[in-house]
Copies of this chain bind each other. A is one copy, B any other.
Amino acid sequence: MSSQFGKLFRISLYGESHGNSVGCIIEGLPPGFKVDLGFVHSRLDQRKPDSSGLTTSRNETDEYEVLSGLYDGKTTGTPLSVRFANKDQRSSDYRESDMVFRPGHADYTGFIKYNGANDPRGGGHFSGRLTAPIVFAGAIAEQILISKGIEVVSQLLSVGALQGKTLEEMNEATVRLIDGLKFAIHPDYSERFLEEIRKTGARGDSIGGVVETVITGVKPGIGEPFFDSLESTLAHGLFSIPGVKGVSFGAGFGLSRMNGSVANDRFLKNSKGTVITATNRSGGINGGISNGMPIKFDCAVKPTPSIAMAQETLDFGTMENSMLSIKGRHDPCVALRAVHVVRAVAAMVICDQIFISRGVNGSD
């Protein structure tokens, strides 16, 4: 158990890939906030599988029902519940009848944890399908942030060995363009990245990637050390996203190879008299608290474990070795869609942290 995340802005998540539905309850929405459902739709569309061959072919409409918490297009201040009914339940593609657990998946660990009682169809509760309600919740959080001048942008920074430019290296127009893309990659090398993914998928394999996120407009002073630092709470949420195996802030693991004289971000004031830092190796966070610079982090996303290529594994029924070829079409690079989930989680965390800070300190 723990399908809940956040302290004041809080999400409770439920669902299984091939059960009745997936959805969530969102608490802590300020009352009377006008929700732009068009914006929410556009965010959901970015995450949704499509027929490009670059994503799973699951035929989901991502239609949802708001069950509570919205009245006259505005948040009521009481819990907002949303439900995504599952339509495409082609269970036959999935190995529900046997015990040949998929390597790299939660089949085995879920079986052990839940004493074999968990819903095994399509990954059950561990399915990427659960990221739809997360993106929904994140899209509302994002709107709250936008109303405060805060923007969250995520992109696919690398695919396998192919490395792109960081958001900090791009101009604002490009960043804005990428923010609206389904495949959030710089146009200069987007086709190269996608071709790599396509080719990998075509040979029955999958590939990993890195998602980069930059959050601008967060005032200094947000974050709740000792234990609820910005890094701690962001990482907590980000590591919940299926496939994320690494999270780093600012220069990240690169900092481990630096000297302090290089790593330290020098303070100065800009032409408007605002405090900035000359570099941003700390990713906008000092001592777990925002310093006013862009908050920047990277997420390492592992390759989709579902691959068509034959793999050796164990038949847990007979405890004999067994070969497995996973049928169905799966995301050859789950990082491609994880981009939109990462942004959603980040938006929720920043919202929550702002509310907590405002609650204790009394300023906004």
Contact = CB atoms under 8 A, between A and B. Distances in A.
Interface string A14-31: 111001111101011111
A83 interface: yes
B76 A124 contact: yes
A21 B68 contact: yes
Nearest to A117: B32
Given A1-B360, A8-B359, A68-B16, A303 B258 contact: yes
A294 interface: no
A62 to B, nearest CB: 16
A106 B287 contact: yes
A206 to B, nearest CB: 4
A210 interface: yes
A205 B360 CA distance: 38
A242 interface: yes
How many A residues touch the partner, as a band? 35 or more
A1 to B, nearest CB: 4
A116 to B, nearest CB: 7
A236 B227 contact: yes
B266 A312 contact: yes
A314 B269 contact: yes
A282 B281 CA distance: 28
A311 interface: yes
A161 to B, nearest CB: 6
A154 interface: no
Contacts of A126: 225, 287
B301 A112 contact: no
A293 to B, nearest CB: 10
Given A119-B71, A319-B269, A288 B247 contact: no
Interface string A239-256: 110101111111111111
A115 interface: yes
B119 A67 contact: no
A182 to B, nearest CB: 20
A305 B263 contact: yes
Given A25-B14, A117-B31, A224 B1 contact: yes
Interface string A252-271: 11111111110111111100
B260 A104 contact: yes
Contacts of A20: 65-68
A49 interface: no
12 contacts: A1-B29, A2-B227, A20-B67, A30-B362, A32-B117, A108-B291, A126-B287, A210-B256, A235-B239, A239-B288, A253-B300, A358-B359
Pairs of residues from A and B, 7 with the lowest C-beta to C-beta distance, nearest first: A106-B287, A359-B359, A246-B248, A206-B260, A2-B228, A32-B117, A77-B114
